[in-house]
Amino acid sequence: MVSETPPEGSEVNEADQSVRFHHGDYLLTEETVEVTRANPSRIVLVAGPVSSGKTTLFASIYSKFQQGPFAEMLFAGSRTLLAFERICFPSRIESARAIAETTRTTHSPRLNFLHLGLRHASLASQRRDLLLPDVSGELFAEIENSADACRELALLSRADTVAVLIDAGRLTDVAQRQGARSSADSFLRRCIESGMLGAQSNVDIVITKWDLFVDSEDNQQFIDETKRSLGERYGEQVASLGFWTVAARPSPNTLESGFGVDALLQHWLEAQRTLPTFDYAPPKIERSFDLFLDARVEADRGE
Amino acid sequence: MASERTSLMMGLTASGKTTFLAALWHVLRAGDVPGALVLDRLAGDEHYVNGIYSSWLSGDQAARTARSAVRCVELHVKDKQDRRISVIMPDPSGELLKDAVCERYWPAELDVYAQNAAGVLLFVHPHGVVMPHLISAVDIDEAEDEPDDEDGVWEPAMMPTQVMLVEMLQLLRSRSRTLHRIALIVSAWDEARRSFPGIEPVQWLDENVPLLTQYLRARTEYAEWTCFGISAQGGRIPDDKSRLLAHANPSDRLLVVGHPHANEHDVSAPIRWLMADL
């Protein structure tokens, strides 16, 4: 049994010695430090227009783990269980709704994060923590339009993956499809030209609500053209550009619940932001102490 | 000199903690279950445990533990190797633990026990498991109830059982530096087994509280864990009262499943496992 210092997250009331615990709700940016410090972590920034399915995607992942292991992973804890439960509630019978819904992300000046601890079901590897900032559709639109807004979202350049959502229902609607593609294009262009995405960035284009895709030659051609054009324009400017289709909560009798979400989750857990490389010129060694220090460094590297 | 262990009982309201304690008290006193722990000597104050034991003996339901209460029972026992152990068993009310999850605090008294607990008995009652039910999984045309006109408002108390139990363990984890074993106990195991013949406790847990079992499997660094199916009452009260009282030996009412080396009436088996005696 490995002994470890228990995680922080509780405070003692000096007056009566009762204990106040961490709120269990969304984490603020400063609260994520505890998470990233404790375990290998992945930050996946999911962005998209209003109602593109961001929060439904998060709710779907969490709901799948409530049924059992998912995407070959085991649930290993969460510091934001209350937040997950709140966003899932409108999709449950207990909410007394006739149709499943998702709590809409309200626009906030502060980033809120969901947290999931996961571990491969084989237990062969260490636990990995997934941090999911919940970015509002309004902020997505603002970033499309403003370099300042783009640069203010510092997480864009630090996330291991930036996932841009496009609603399949809009892509197969003649009146909306050009706008849907243009929106994703504008967002990516803004992020790259602002220097927030670049050669170290992993980018995913996630087509959501795939159950709404109307299968026709014309629609399939438009999807293919969308992939081609975005790939050509931005593929060489980022570390990786992937395309995914999901249906987190499909309509009855269309696709299985969580279609494509398992593969996407596995991909996010594996993708890691490429660290920048730089040319290192070792200092000229003259003193005896420098010789000793250099030898220790080499030994620590195992070289 | 006896060694001392704190074994904390946790679980939601009516999960079987108090009935288990009463049955355990019987086994310790009776000394008639092979391999079980036995009472070495009496503790100073046994009002509480004798009170719940009296109800158990007469086939009555024990009174619910008061909301704010953290009853604590001190058991001075011997194992089959004649080793003397003092087991401190805090029995916090289910409401107190639920409040910890929902209101995000617990009292100092419970915190002291939590900090010193080397083992936890975590109770789950088959009748008390609240599972998440997705609207998308229900055929609206076949639904028996019409949805209400007003949408429900979420409150933490609505969280599924497995989420509450995981959070309970996470809160404990944030306070305990000594915890290394967790025994999951499925209460009313006689009923669970009747509903699903041949099922083992771990299978029942995987099917009914899968988030909890994933959490324990994944967090190998947290604590070792195992599970037991236990019927500490032997039947339903008041329906089966006459049948239960007909046993000449009350120990025969008890059913313990989960460990190959434990006698089927040995309700001290989870305690022994926590102490690494099994």
Residue with tokens 């599970």: B227
pLDDT band (50, 70, 90) for residue B211: very high
Of B196, B189, B163, give the one whose Cα is nearest residue A67.
B163
pTM to 2 decimal places: 0.90
Q: Does A299 have pLDDT greater than 70? A: no
* Lowest mean per-residue pLDDT among A23-37, A39-53, A87-101, A212-226: A87-101
Nearest to B135 among A9, A99, A127 (CB): A99
- Does residue B69 register a pLDDT over 70? no
State mean pLDDT over B177-198: 92
- Count the neighbouring beta carbons within 10 Å of the beta carbon of residue B141: 6
Question: pLDDT, tens digit, for every residue of A253-292?
Answer: 899 999 999 999 999 998 877 766 655 556 665 565 555 5
Look up residue A76 and give its two tokens: 């290993």
By 3-state DSSP, what share of chain A in percent is helix, strand and coil, each rounded to 5? Answer: 40, 20, 40
- At B149 the pLDDT is 54
Reported as a single tens digit per residue, the pLDDT across B75-131 is 999 988 888 888 888 888 888 899 999 999 999 989 999 998 999 999 999 998 999
Q: Which of B180, B262, B219, B185 is nearest to B17 (CA)?
A: B185
Write out the DSSP string of B171-237.
HHHTT-SS--EEEEEESSHHHHHHHSTT--HHHHHHHH-HHHHHHHHH-TTT-EEEEEEEESSSS-T
User: Which pair of structure tokens corresponds to residue A124?
Assistant: 């062969």
A100 touches chain B (CB under 8 A): yes
CB contact under 8 A, B218 and A252: no
Q: Is the pLDDT of residue B139 over 60?
A: no
pLDDT band at B141 (very low <50, low <70, confident <90, very high): low
Q: Beta strand pairing status for B3-11 and A240-245?
A: unpaired
For residue A7, what pLDDT band results from cuts at 50, 70 and 90? Answer: very low
Are B219 and A123 within 8 A, CB to CB? no
Mean pLDDT of B197-222: 95
CA–CA separation, B113 vs B231, rounded Å?
26
Record the tokens describing residue A125, joined without a space: 């590897």
Give A296's pLDDT tier (boundaries 50, 70, 90): low
The pLDDT-based confidence of B44 (bands split at 50, 70, 90) is: confident
Give the separation between CA B199 and CA A136, rounded to whole angstroms: 46
The 8 Å CB, 24+ separation contacts for B49-53 are B49/B21, B49/B22, B49/B25, B49/B73, B50/B25, B52/B18, B52/B19, B52/B21, B52/B22, B52/B25, B53/B22, B53/B25, B53/B26
ipTM at complex level: 0.92
CB contact under 8 A, A92 and B133: yes
CA angle (B170 as vertex; B74, B99 as ends), nearest 5 = 70
Summary mean pLDDT of chain A? 88
Among the partner-chain residues B132, B180, B215, the one whose CB lies closest to the CB of A75 is B215
Is the separation of the CB atoms in B12 and B128 below 8 Å? Answer: yes
